[in-house]
Structure formats: C-alpha cells, structure tokens
C-alpha cells in the first residue's frame, strides 16, 4: 500500500526522471480538478435521484405507434412550441448560399517575382565576371591590369564583361546556367530567350527592364479562371488583401469583370507593358525575350480561400434561429383521440403538458440531494484532512476513490432495479431481502488494500449513507453497509496474498449475518422463513465481496498504476524467476541485495516511508548484474578479474549496463513501475570513480581525452524517499563489506561518510528527504550494521580447530599462533606477498564501490589504520598511524556537511 513519501505512478507511464502518468499531470490543473469534482458530484446525484420518480405520466415513449385506448385531454391551458427542422434547415441553406465567397489577393507576389529575377541575373553576372577576369588575366594582361585598377574602388561585374565577345559570353552562360540561373529563376526559358540575355552578360539594364515589366503586370488582379468569379457577378465577393501572412484590408467587390484579369489575358498585359517600358529602344529579339520571360514568371495573385468561405457560411448558418411551430391547447381539449395511432408528435405534446409540474418536483429533489451530497462529502473530507494524520489523498487517490464509489453505487442501483423487476414478475413476497445479496463491503475493502485505513473509513461513512439513500432511504441498508465494510477493512489489513481475500469475505459474511439478525430482532420477525433467506443472502454478500475484490483488484492496480502490499508481498517471494536467476548466476549480488533490503526497510520505518516497498525494491535493484556477473567484485573469485584485460572505458560501460539490463529484465517480467524506479535510480548520476581515475592516470597529461560524463551513471537521481534510501543503503552495505575490523565506531563513521558523500554529490537533490530524515536513516543503518557485524566470542574448541579469517581477504591464520611482530612480521609479509600476487578489484558500481583491498594492504590496515569510508575512488586509503587517526578522519567527514548526527 502506498505510504507517505512514496511516489505513485500512473498507467500511461514513460521512462525518465519523472515518469508520472498523463492522468497525474492532467490533475495538476485546478480547472481539471474542479471539473472532475463536479462530474463526481453530478454522478452521485444522478444515481441517488434516479430512484425518486415524478408521477403523472399518461403515456410512455414505447406507446408510440400503438392504438390509443382512451381520449387524452389537456389538463391545463398551454402552448406547444416545436422546432420545424425541415424549415430551419431550408432557411439555413438559403442564408449560407447568400454569403459571398472569399478570395485572397497576394500583394507581395510581384515583389517575390522581382526578387527571383534579381537573384538569377546578379548570380549570372557575378559568375560571368569571374570567368572574364580569369580569361583576361591569361590572354590580355594589359587590359586586365587596366580594368583591375578601374574596378579597385568599386566592384563592377559589367566592366569585366564589356571586352568579352558575345559568343564567348553565350558559351560561358550555357555552362553556368544550371548552377547560377535556373535554380533561382524557377522557370524554363527557351534557348533563344536565354541567349539574348547572355549576349549582354545579364546586364543590370536588362534585369531592370524585366523587373519593371513584372511589377506593372502583377499590379493587376490576375485570376487563373474567371468562371469561378462569373458565378458571383451579381452577388459579389470578399477580397482579402494580404502582404505575406498579414491581412491588410478586406474589400467587397461587385464589378468583377472590370477588376479582374484572367491569366489567359496576362500575355496581352505583358506585351503592352513591354512596349511602354522599351519605347523602341531595344531590338526585336530583346522584346521577344522580355515578353517570353515575364510571361513565364507571371502567376495568378488572386486565389479562392475555401476555408474562409466555409467559415463565413457556417457562421451565417448558426446565426439562423430555429423555425418554430406554435399550437395552443385549452384545458379539456382532446390531444389524442381514442382509437387513433399515437404519433411521436402527440407524445411530445403530452410530455409538454405534464412538464410544468414535473419540472418543479424534480428540481426540488435534485437540489436537495445535491446539497446533502455536498455537505456529506465536504464535511468528512475536511474532517479527515484536519484530524486524521494519514488522510492526505492526492488528486489521483481522489479520482480512484470517486470512481470506485460511483461504479459501486451504480452496481447497487442496477442490482436493486433488477431485484425489484424480478420480484414483481416472480411475485416474491420479500423482494427487499435480495438487496442484502449485493457485495456492498467490497468497495471499502478495495480502498483499504490500495490506500490505507484512514481513506477507507472516510470512504465507508460516505458510501454507507449514499447506499441508504439509494435503497429507498433504508436505514437498515445503511447500517448493513457500514458494519460489513468496517469489518472488511479490518479483515484485509493483514492479508498477505490474494487468496486470503476469500477468508476476509467469510469474516464479512459473519458480520453481515450479525447485523441482519439485530435488524430482524428490531422488527420482531425472528421466527419466519424470510428471516433465514435474508441471513443466507447477507452471508453470501460477504463471500461475494471477497471474490469481487479478488477479481477487480488487478484491474485497478493496472488502470490507476497502484502497487498494493499484496503485489509487493508476492514479488518479495524469493522464488520469483528474477531472484532465482540472480542467486544462480550472481550469488554475491543476491546476498548484497538481501542485505540492502534489510538496511532499506529499517531506514524506511525510521523516516515514515514505505518499508515494504523499500525492501522489495532493494531485492530487485541489482537484477541486471545477472547478465554479466563476473564483472562485479562481489561475484568474482580470488585471482579472477576480467577487468584486467579491458580498457577503463569498456569496464565502465559494462558496469553501467547492469542498470539498463535490469530495466529490460524488469519490463520483460512486468515488474511495477515503482520497482523499476529502484533499478533506474539506485545509482543516480554518481561517478564510477575507480575506472575514471584509472583512465585519467592512463591519458596523456597534455591532452585531456577522458570525459567524466562517460564514467557517470545516466540517472535519473532518486525521485522518491524510497529510492534515495536504497541508494544510501546500497553504498553503505557494499562499503561495510570492505571494512576491516568493523567495530561500532568504524561502522558509525562509515555510515556518516557515505551519507555525506551522496549529499554533497547532489544525488539527493530531487527527493524530499530532509536533514532530519538523514539523521534517522544513519541511526537505522548503524543499528542494522551493528547487528550484522556484532562480536562473536571464540570458544576454546574453535580456537584450536578453526583458523581465523581476515575480514577482507578470507586468508586463514592459525588461531593458536600469536601474530608475528617486528622482523618476523616483515619476513612473513614478504613471504606472503610472494605467494599471493597483489591486485586491485574494480568497483562493482559507483554507489557501492567494493574496495580493492589486497591482502598486503588489509594486513597493514588491520595493524595501524582506519578506512576512509568515501567509496567513490575504489581504493581504501590507510589513515595516519597515530592513535587519533580515527577521530581526525571522522571529524573531517562531518565538517564537509551540516551535521547529520552524532559521530
């Protein structure tokens, strides 16, 4: 069950630092919360008020088409007003067709065509000038020098082109055409037209003439086809004058023929404009080339805007009011004659006649129910928030609770209606007894399993009152629901597996029987046959409640993204395939995970987080190591280290991969998202420092090639208190294994330094742990580690027969031999180092760096040094040999942060 501090995930989850569901993100908005609350209240009012009938109906809707058996007369004077749909639609079509169409005038089209021409001509001029300069420099150096001096102050491509023969310019232009002209002009000029402009080097004068004619022609309103406009000659059109996307003005034009020019007549405008611009100053060939070029560049600048036309016509349609038909009736007038066929219109007239009184009666009922529901829900919600410590529902919790309540009330109402109908048809003497068969306790049991006791009790009080209102204001049904549900809430509190829900149903059934017996005694009907039936139904209701919760609980877990205690307890089973694979392939990692689970559970209890979630999440946090167990220190045998053959960056990739592998395995086995968070976040973005420092030591000191990001886990950092506790427990447990002579003082200093490191590295920035929580976590870790590493006395038999093991290396020393001293110790150490080559064991991961402690270093540390608890470097540094070394080192660790606790 989600506890305070856990972050729940929704059913549309995605991977990442924040994997909240779409539902949770949507419910952050106040408007959405208000709409959801309004929908909830409306649903409750609708269900509760469904049982309050307003009488007075003379005919039913299913009577349409049947023969009227009697005359139906008007009970009062009234006017029947009806919308004539056919007439309304006809009027709307007429108005819609009368709306003029909308056209767009792209005023900026002329500027676009001129810009295209300018780019094409200037590009060709520049390219030809470059060719000319190269040609003159090679063939006419004197002329080249003169032109270079003349153009030194201002670059004039035309000056370089004047000495070049037109035939050469034409040849060069053909070579350059695709790259510098066609790509910009976006028009297929004929060879003759192109060569006219090429012969004069695409001069600025020719360019200006083309641009001038384009501007003159496109200043007219050119349309592709006049047939569209001709249809609206008398009606007119709307013309939107645009400059790019900006609307300048809207015209209403009726003289269409005078304003617009069809594209087919555009060539005439081109010829006329060409004659005006040239005025016989150029050759016929140039005139033809000019006309041909501009004709290709002219486009229609008037286009039909269908979207705007439809928008205006729809607006006009909606502005047309319904065409209504009015018919007056006097009191006593025959509305439906006997023997006639009842039509749909006659049925509507009768409904209108009866509507006035019914409306006021129904409005009063609905208003009263709404006020009562608001008072009931509001009062209990406010009371719970102010007085119940663990009643802190999130928006998703409220949606889940509301949905459960509405669905369950609807099922009760539906079941009641069904029982009433069957009772009438089968002539049951006590149809009300069947209401006790409905599994009303299942709703509260479901809320308790998913949330907690406080939420379930508040829900039960509201739910019981509403059940009583649905079932004909039955006080008996309200007590039946209240007592049965409260017993069900208590019964499921200790449920450890799903099948135990059926046993909870038996307890609810027994409570239901007791309630029914009490109610029967109040009625004085103990010795009747119906009494036995009612008690059997009540017991069956409890049993059905257990089965119902068993059936729907997985559905609610999936839809709303909850992970209940039952689900967590099932996953805590050590026979789960993932845990079995872990113990078979990576026994060291398995044992490490079990120890982390114990540490996390104790710490979670200390700070009010979810202990069960912490423990189960810790079990699965390292399942990815099962894919490559030999690369992690806790699974390596002495003398075997595959990292010795790999580069540091490859080792770091393999180490980081266990997170990705773990997530893949979790998804394949459909682990809940809460457990996937433990896998993804238990390292945060911490540094795999052993391989990082090893890579730094191997790089060229003059060239920095090692990026720290490549040696950090991808994250995200822990997002909840539970995943943050797992991160701290993971590092602390692994570091404690490498601690020689784990005395309480050393363990306490180690815990302090591990928490300080995670804090200063920013790994706890995105969760809501406080400094007070960190103190509590440290104390819980200390208690658990002291229990694990407590002193075991050696008995005389063990001293004689059992060799002593060094804590870090497992090297045996005979217990009967005193430890060597002085020169004997040095000689022994030298001989031992010859027997066993020293090596460093790479860290398993950045948050639980299993320190590389060689036998030689362990012996020296056992004699005269403490261990630096900082686990980010992967090498255990011996401290000063002085007696105050422990104290100094511990004090330094504490000074790096605000004090987290004593020691």
The DSSP-derived string for 329-351 is E-TT-EEE-TTSBPPHHHHHHHH
Q: Residues near 420 by Cβ (< 8 Å), separated by ≥ 6? A: 431
60 burial via Cβ count (<10 Å: 0-12, 13-18, 19+): exposed
**Structure confidence at residue 467 (pLDDT):** 86
Exposure of 886 in the CB half-sphere (CA atoms within 13 A): 17
Report, as an integer, the average pLDDT of 23-42: 76
Report yes or no: 132 and 269 within 8 Å, Cβ to Cβ: no
Residue 826 exposure: Cα atoms within 13 Å on the Cβ side: 2
Q: What pLDDT score does 426 carry?
A: 60
**5-19 pLDDT per residue, tens:** 344 443 333 343 344
Does residue 898 have a pLDDT over 50? no
The pLDDT of residue 563: 80
Task: Give residue 2's pLDDT band: very low, low, confident or very high (50, 70, 90).
Answer: very low
- Decide: 615 and 569 in contact? Cβ < 8 Å: no
Q: Which of 478, 503, 477 is nearest to 490 (CA)?
A: 503
- Taken in order 559, 444, 395, 367, the sign of the CA dihedral is positive
User: Could you tell me which residues come within 8 angstroms of residue 66 by beta carbon, excluding any fewer than 6 positions away?
Assistant: 341, 342
Per domain, the residue ranges of the chain are: 388-560, 567-788
What's the pLDDT tens digit per position in 227-272?
777 777 777 888 888 887 788 888 888 777 778 888 888 888 888 8
Q: How confident is the model at residue 528 (pLDDT cuts 50, 70, 90)?
A: low
Peptide bond into 716 cis (omega under 30): yes
C-alpha–C-alpha distance, residues 48 and 567, integer Å: 35
Q: Which of 476-490, 522-536, 653-667, 810-824 has the highest mean pLDDT?
A: 653-667
Higher pLDDT pick, 650 / 144: 650
Whole-model pTM? 0.50
- Is residue 866 packed enough to be buried (19+ CB in 10 Å), middle (13-18) or exposed (0-12)? buried
Q: Which of 643, 638, 645 is nearest to 855 (CA)?
A: 638
pLDDT at position 594: 93
Name the percent of the chain lying above pLDDT 90: 14
- Say what the pLDDT of residue 765 is: 92
Mean pLDDT of the chain: 77
pLDDT in tens, 582-634: 999 999 999 999 999 999 999 999 998 888 899 999 999 999 999 999 888 88
Q: What DSSP string runs through 263-301? A: GGGHHHHHHHHHHHHHTT-S-HHHHHHHHHHHHHH----
CATH architecture entry for 388-560 = Orthogonal Bundle (1.10)
Separation CA 404–CA 399 (nearest Å): 8
Q: How confident is the model at residue 512 (pLDDT cuts 50, 70, 90)?
A: confident
- What percent of the residues of the chain are helix, what percent strand, and what percent coil, each to the nearest 5? 65, 5, 30
CA 838: distance to chain centroid?
Answer: 51
Domain 567-788: CATH class, spelled out? mainly alpha
Question: Residue 783 and residue 780: Cα distance in Å, rounded?
Answer: 5
Q: 651 near 642, Cβ under 8 Å?
A: no
Which DSSP state fits 289?
Answer: H
Greater model confidence, 428 or 482: 482
**Phi–psi pair at 72, nearest 5 degrees:** -115, 120
Under DSSP, the state recorded for 471 is T
List, for residues 727-758, the tens digit of each pLDDT value. Answer: 999 999 988 988 888 888 899 999 999 999 99
DSSP code at position 795: P
Residue 732 neighbours by CB distance under 10 Å: 30
Least confident of 359-363, 415-419, 556-560: 359-363
Mean pLDDT over residues 549-568, rounded?
A: 81
> Quick one: pLDDT at residue 662?
92
Dihedrals φ, ψ of 269, to 5°?
A: -65, -35
440-492 pLDDT tens trace: 888 888 888 888 888 889 888 988 888 888 876 567 888 888 898 898 888 88
Secondary structure (3-state) at 262: strand
Smallest CA-to-CA distance from 755 within 626, 893, 629, 644 is with 893
Query: Which single residue is written with the structure tokens 């529902």?
Result: 393
Helix (H, G, I), strand (E, B) or coil at 105: strand
Backbone angles phi, psi at 70, to 5 degrees: -140, 165
CA 302 – CA 295 distance, rounded (Å): 17
- 197: tokens are 């402009």
Which pair of structure tokens corresponds to residue 538?
């009540």
CA distance 716 to 684: 5
Q: How far apart are CA 440 and CA 481, in angstroms?
A: 6
81 vs 86: CA distance, rounded Å = 15
- Predicted local confidence at residue 894, as pLDDT: 36
Provide the pLDDT confidence category of residue 22 given band limits of 50, 70 and 90: low
Report the alpha-carbon distance of residue 56 to residue 351 in Å, rounded: 10
Our CA angle for 309, 315, 321, nearest 5°, is 140
pLDDT average, residue stretch 523-544:
76
pLDDT for the residue 384: 84
């Amino acid at each position: 069950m989600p506890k305070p501090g856990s972050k729940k995930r929704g059913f549309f989850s995605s991977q990442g630092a924040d994997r909240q569901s779409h539902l949770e993100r949507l419910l952050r908005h106040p408007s959405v919360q208000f709409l959801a609350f309004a929908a909830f209240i409306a649903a409750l009012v609708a269900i509760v008020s469904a049982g309050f009938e307003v009488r007075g109906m003379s005919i039913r809707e299913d009577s349409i088409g049947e023969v009227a058996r009697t005359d139906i007369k008007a009970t009062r004077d009234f006017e029947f007003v009806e919308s004539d749909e056919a007439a309304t639609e006809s009027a709307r079509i007429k108005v819609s067709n009368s709306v003029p169409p909308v056209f767009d005038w792209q005023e900026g089209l002329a500027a676009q065509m001129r810009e295209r021409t300018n780019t094409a001509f200037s590009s060709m001029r520049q390219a030809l000038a470059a060719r000319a300069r190269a040609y003159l420099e090679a063939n006419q150096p004197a002329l080249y020098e003169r032109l270079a001096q003349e153009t030194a102050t201002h670059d004039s491509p035309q000056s370089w082109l004047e000495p070049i023969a037109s035939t050469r310019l034409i040849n060069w232009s053909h070579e350059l055409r695709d790259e510098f002209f066609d790509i910009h002009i976006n028009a297929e000029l004929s060879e003759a037209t192109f060569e006219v402009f090429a012969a004069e080097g695409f001069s600025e004068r020719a360019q200006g003439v083309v641009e001038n004619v384009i501007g003159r022609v496109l200043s007219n309103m050119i349309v592709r086809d006049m047939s569209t406009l001709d249809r609206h000659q008398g009606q007119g059109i709307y013309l939107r004058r645009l400059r790019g996307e900006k609307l300048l003005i809207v015209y209403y034009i009726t003289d269409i023929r005078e304003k617009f020019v069809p594209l087919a007549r555009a060539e005439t405008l081109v010829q006329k404009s060409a004659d005006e611009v040239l005025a016989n100053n150029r050759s016929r060939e140039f005139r033809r080339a000019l006309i041909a070029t501009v004709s290709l560049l002219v486009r229609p600048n008037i286009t039909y805007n269908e979207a705007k036309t439809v928008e205006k016509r729809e607006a006009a349609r909606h502005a047309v009011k319904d065409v209504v038909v009015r018919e007056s009736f006097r009191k006593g007038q025959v509305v439906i004659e006997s023997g006639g066929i009842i039509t749909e219109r006659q049925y509507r007239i009768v409904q209108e006649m009866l509507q006035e009184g019914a409306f006021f009666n129904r409005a009063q009922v609905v208003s009263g129910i709404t006020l009562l529901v608001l008072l009931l829900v509001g009062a209990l919600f406010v009371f719970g928030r102010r007085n119940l410590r663990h009643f802190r529902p999130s928006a998703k919790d409220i949606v889940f609770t509301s949905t459960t309540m509405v669905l369950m009330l609807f099922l009760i109402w539906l079941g009641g209606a069904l029982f009433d109908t069957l009772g009438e048809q089968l002539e049951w003497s006590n149809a009300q007894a069947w209401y006790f068969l409905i599994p009303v306790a299942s709703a509260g049991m479901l809320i308790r399993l998913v949330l907690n006791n406080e939420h379930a009790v508040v829900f039960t009080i509201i739910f019981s009152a509403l059940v009583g209102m649905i079932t004909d204001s039955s006080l008996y049904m309200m007590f039946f629901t209240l007592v049965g549900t409260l017993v069900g809430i208590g019964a499921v509190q200790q449920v450890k597996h799903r099948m135990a829900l059926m046993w909870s149903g038996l307890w609810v059934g027994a409570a239901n029987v007791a309630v029914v017996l009490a109610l029967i005694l109040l009625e004085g009907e103990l010795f009747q046959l119906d009494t036995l039936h009612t008690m059997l139904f009540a017991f069956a209701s409890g049993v059905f409640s257990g089965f119902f919760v068993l059936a729907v609980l997985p559905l609610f877990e999936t839809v709303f993204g909850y992970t209940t205690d039952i689900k967590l307890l099932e996953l805590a089973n050590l026979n789960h395939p993932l845990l079995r694979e872990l113990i078979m392939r990576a026994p060291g990692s398995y044992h490490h995970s079990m120890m982390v689970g114990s540490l996390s559970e104790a710490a979670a209890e200390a700070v009010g987080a979810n202990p069960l979630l912490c423990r189960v999440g810790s079990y699965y946090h390292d399942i990815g190591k099962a894919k490559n167990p030999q690369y992690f220190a806790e699974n390596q045998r002495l003398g075997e280290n595959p990292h010795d053959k790999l580069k540091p960056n490859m080792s770091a990739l393999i180490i980081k991969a266990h997170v990705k592998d773990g997530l893949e395995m979790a998804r394949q086995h459909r682990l809940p998202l809460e457990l996937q968070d433990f896998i993804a976040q238990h390292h945060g973005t911490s540094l795999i420092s052993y391989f990082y420092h090893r890579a730094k030591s191997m790089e060229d000191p003059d060239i920095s090639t090692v990026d720290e990001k490549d040696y950090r886990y991808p994250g995200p950092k822990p997002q909840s208190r539970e995943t943050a506790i797992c991160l701290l427990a993971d590092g602390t447990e692994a570091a404690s294994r490498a601690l020689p002579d784990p005395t309480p003082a050393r363990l306490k200093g180690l815990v302090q330094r591990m928490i300080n490191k995670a804090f200063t590295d920013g790994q706890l920035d995105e969760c809501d742990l406080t400094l007070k929580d960190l103190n509590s976590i440290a104390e819980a870790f200390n208690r658990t580690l002291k229990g694990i590493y407590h002193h075991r006395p050696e008995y005389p038999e063990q001293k004689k027969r059992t060799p002593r093991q060094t804590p870090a290396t497992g090297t045996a020393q005979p217990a009967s031999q005193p430890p060597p001293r002085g020169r004997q110790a040095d000689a022994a150490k030298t001989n031992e180092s010859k027997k066993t080559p020293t090596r460093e064991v790479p860290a398993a991961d950045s948050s639980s760096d299993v320190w590389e402690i060689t036998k030689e270093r362990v012996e020296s540390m056992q004699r005269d040094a403490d261990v630096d608890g900082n686990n980010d470097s992967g090498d255990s540094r011996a401290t000063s040999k002085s007696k105050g070394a422990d104290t100094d080192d511990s004090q330094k660790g504490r000074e790096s942060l605000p004090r987290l606790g004593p020691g």
